Amino acid sequence: MTKTLRIAHCSDIHLDGDGYHHSLSGDAHSAYRDAFAHALATMQTHKPDLMLLAGDLFDANSASADTIEWSMSILEKQPFPILMIPGNHDCMGGDAIYRRYDFNQIPNVDNLTAEAGEIAYVKNLGAAVWGKGMVDHSPEFDPLGGCPERPDDCDWFLGMGHGIHVPHGAETGRSSPIHMSDIEASTCDYLALGHHHAALELVTDKATAAYSGSPTDGVGRGATYVIIDLAETSEAKVTVHAIGDAA
Ligand SMILES: [Mn+2]
């Protein structure tokens, strides 16, 4: 049997955001929760093998205890493993949510928060997933820096990063740059990126990567997530899906 892996990828949910630049209706507190719950239900319909959440689940480390506990509960209810990293809005600096709440206590969740990066294995899928915990959103932070070569003991090697896309030939003084050259140098089968709220596919002959866009922000092609199909014997397929209103 040909080995395949189906991945659901999302990022930038911004729970407890103030809704300032968003199109969500109702009070922002419940609107973000409702939109994320709807996005999760929609992603479930694809029956993914696992989910990658590439940062900014929360809008700020000051998110309410009620919202943090709600998020832990809904992640636990998903019928697949979830691998996640902090973003700049929920980074590991200061009074980080992820220092106060242990998301790794959730049976189906691996939160990759090590500053130097770490790999989690989803053994039954043969998947190794790398990510790191951003402490400071600064020009010096290198979201993909230190990502190792593909381990020998996996069928699939996946990576996550949270930061700004820097195309070939471009320069930026902005924080957390993710250079296209680093994406193309990666040995990952797929790189799940977060930070841009508009989805962006980055598929070349050297790279399979995407920004999923935000499932709670309608900028760009709408509220989005990405489904990735990897197969041993064919090219990866990266599909951006727009979701309807949570209502
Ligand atoms: Mn961000």
Whether the pLDDT of residue 21 is over 90: the answer is no
pLDDT at residue 26, as a whole number: 65
How far, in Å, CA of 82 to CA of 8, rounded?
Answer: 9
What CATH number matches the domain at 4-242, 3.40.50.1100, 3.60.21.10, 3.40.50.1980, 3.40.50.170?
3.60.21.10
C-alpha 63 to ligand 1 mean position (Å): 15
pLDDT band at 30; cut points 50, 70, 90: confident
How far, in Å, from the CA of 182 to the mean position of ligand 1?
Answer: 19
Q: Going along 73-231, which residue ranges are E strands?
A: 82-84, 109-111, 118-122, 127-131, 156-162, 164-166, 177-179, 190-194, 200-203, 208-211, 224-231
How remote is the C-alpha of 237 from its chain's centroid? 17
Closest to 141 measured CA to CA, from 112, 169, 173? 173
Kindly list the protein residues that place their beta carbon closer than 5 angstroms to ligand 1, a single-atom ion.
56, 87-88, 195
Task: Please write down the long-range contacts of 110-113, taking CB distance under 8 Å and 24 or more positions apart.
Answer: 110/81, 110/82, 110/83, 110/84, 111/84, 111/85, 111/86, 112/83, 112/84, 112/85, 112/160, 113/85, 113/86
Ligand 1 centre to CA of 142 (Å) is: 14
pTM score, two decimals? 0.95
Alpha-carbon distances of 101 from 82, 106, 113, 149, rounded to whole Å: 16, 10, 12, 31
Residue 89 Cα to ligand 1 midpoint, Å, equals 6
Q: How far apart, in whole angstroms, are the C-alpha atoms of residue 105 and residue 122? A: 16
**Position of tokens 């691996």?**
110
The per-residue pLDDT for range 31-60, each reduced to its tens digit, is 999 999 999 999 999 999 999 999 999 999
Residue with tokens 């930038």: 12
With tokens 């080995």, the residue in question is 3
Residue 197's Cβ-side half-sphere holds a number of Cα atoms within 13 Å equal to 17
Q: Greatest CA span in the chain, whole angstroms?
A: 49
The Cα–Cα gap between 68 and 158 comes to 26
- Distance CA(55)–CA(29), nearest Å, equals 19
Our CA angle for 58, 72, 48, nearest 5°, is 90
Q: Is the torsion defined by CA of 111, 73, 48, 3 positive or negative? A: positive
Question: Residues of the chain with pLDDT > 70: what percent?
Answer: 95
Instruction: Tell how far the Cα of 202 is from the centroid of ligand 1, in angstroms.
Output: 18
- Tens of pLDDT, residue by residue over 110-138, are 999 999 999 999 999 999 999 999 999 99
As a whole number, the mean pLDDT across the chain is 94
Res 29 pLDDT > 90:
no
Q: Distance, CA 56 to ligand 1 centroid (Å)?
A: 6
Letter for the amino acid at 75? L
